Chain A
Amino acid sequence: MASYSTNEFRGGLKVLLDGDPCIILENEIVKPGKGQAFNRVKLRNLMTNRVWERTFKSGESLEAADVMDHDMEYLYTDGEFWHFMLTDGSFEQYAADAKAVGDTVKWLKEQDVYTVTLYNGAPLTVTPPNFVELEVVETDPGMKGDTAQGGSKPATLSTGAVVNVPLFITIGEVVKVDTRSGEYMNRVKNN
């Protein structure tokens, strides 16, 4: 595998540190006048999601991590694994475990496309698109003009996610949700 020296460090680079794949967030060079240069590097451990801060002497290098993002269609779950398929026409399938799927499980809808990050060829994380459109399967029949609850109510979506929606939303309607914040964006007209 290739390796990267401190001069190549930049945000987004994926490297191995202490045996774990990490993504570089920031790289700051620190150097007194004509003295030895050091790099203060912030990295997120992709296994644990923890942020590490490490110091390197300029010129040191880290091994590249075999971490690649792929667009994949979600197929189904067998209860233990969630199965995805590459959208590049290869029909190649990957099985992600509960750890890789994580919180994304509540946004998973069959035939929708997700970003699956592979580490050494196996799913490491599954990331939903920033916005998803899902059907409301359960919510109170809020009344028109009812603002007593601050104008919103919880609604359960087809994937199991619960989001706050305006009172006028009814069961069977499709809503657009921002997966980063879990917030309702707008109602989607059914065609």
Chain B
Amino acid sequence: MKNQPDWQPTASRAALKSRAQQSAFVRGFFAQRNVLEVETPVLGRCGVTEPNLDGISAQIDARGIKGGWLQTSPEYHMKRLLAAGSGSIYQISKVFRNGERGSRHNPEFSMLEWYRTGFDDTALMEEVADLACGWLQCPRPKTTSYRQAMITWAGIDPFAVTENDLRQRCREWLEPEQLQDLSRDGCLDLLMSFAVEPNLGTETPVFITQYPASQASLARISSVDGFDVAHRFELYIDGLELCNGYWELTNPDEQRARFEADNRLRKAAGKPEMEIDEAFLAALEEGLPECSGVALGLDRLLMLKTGTRDISDVLAFPLERA
């Protein structure tokens, strides 16, 4: 009795049912819009260079191929499909990120990722709003720039604040010695998480747009009001970060340069450098069509739908019971 492991699911039957309805809603949504459902590997040969994402390595041993990684996102494989002429595609897949477990995180989670050829970020944001608000029956999101959100909620201008003032602002959460090796973007992430995020989308859902170019990841960059900003957007509802979208970078040389920059950051942070996914870069060389793409956390969407603040309530078996 005492040592019996917790075998029961943490999600209620109602939550399981709601998940099934959510999947059906998503598939119906894209079927209506002629977006093709695809499946790409969950187990891939390469991981990602992203400095703040830790993949979970695998031990493939077949056909002389060894190693491998559980995918942190289906992005590279889906972009290879796009380069091969798939047209607009979507996927519901399991993705994996090490070290992430909390009330909003589980190392394995469900992601809805989709790409729209010919869409820019603004057009895709409309579609994200159609999907999220159609399912949640919530008001359509407002749009606020990253800069404005930071000024409003953290009291700093992310593009103008001096290094000193930025660190001073972070003292509310971190000791000086903890701040010593935190980068400028790391400081901004701290403020975003602790000062800004809890206030986002509490009344009406909100898109945050125009991220600093240094946080562009795979988005293209342009100049707005004299600042370099990324064509990247995130949707927040009730303080919960729901998705991350880009007007996709299509230039292979720029992409390679960003991967190499990522690895330099990883090395500086004492993390292992990651092998660059040459198959993905080869696809970009061939030509990725103009497109926008977005990744949306389905477990979090379900948390909003079922009104819970704990991801365990919508997962049959979270990490501790998996």
Contacts and interface: CB of A to CB of B under 8 A. Distances in A.
A30 interface: yes
B159 interface: no
Interface of A: 6-7, 27-38, 55-60
Contact of A37 (B100, B173, B194, B197): B100
25 contacts: A27-B102, A28-B103, A29-B104, A30-B102, A31-B189, A31-B193, A32-B197, A33-B234, A34-B50, A34-B215, A35-B52, A35-B192, A36-B190, A37-B99, A37-B100, A38-B189, A38-B194, A55-B173, A55-B174, A55-B178, A55-B194, A57-B182, A57-B186, A58-B99, A59-B269
B244 interface: yes
Nearest to B182: A57
Nearest to B271: A59
B186 A29 contact: no
Interface string B165-197: 000000001100010001101101110111001
Nearest to A27: B102
Interface in B95-153: 98-105
Contacts of B261: none
A38 B101 CA distance: 12
Contacts of B197: 32
Given A29-B100, A57-B178, A34 B105 contact: no
B98 to A, nearest CB: 8
Nearest to B244: A33
Contacts of A37: 52, 99-100
B268 interface: no
Give the secondary structure class of B's interface.
loop
Contacts of B50: 34
Contacts of A58: 99
B246 to A, nearest CB: 11
Contact of B102 (A29, A33, A55): A29
A55 B194 CA distance: 10
A36 B186 contact: yes
A31 B105 contact: yes
Contact of A56 (B178, B188, B215, B244): B178
Contacts of B189: 31-32, 35-36, 38
A60 B177 CA distance: 12
Contacts of B52: 31, 34-37
A190 B192 CA distance: 64
The 3 closest A-B pairs by CB, nearest first: A35-B189, A29-B102, A36-B189
Nearest to A8: B99
Given A29-B100, A33-B241, A55-B174, A38 B193 contact: yes
B84 interface: no
A181 to B, nearest CB: 24
Contacts of B53: 34
Given A32-B189, A36-B185, 19 more contacts: A7-B98, A7-B99, A29-B100, A30-B102, A34-B52, A34-B217, A34-B244, A35-B186, A35-B188, A36-B183, A37-B52, A38-B173, A38-B189, A38-B190, A55-B174, A55-B178, A56-B178, A58-B99, A59-B269
A140 B61 CA distance: 80
Nearest to B211: A33
Contacts of A32: 189, 192-193, 197, 241
Contacts of B104: 29
A60 B175 CA distance: 13
A35 B215 contact: yes
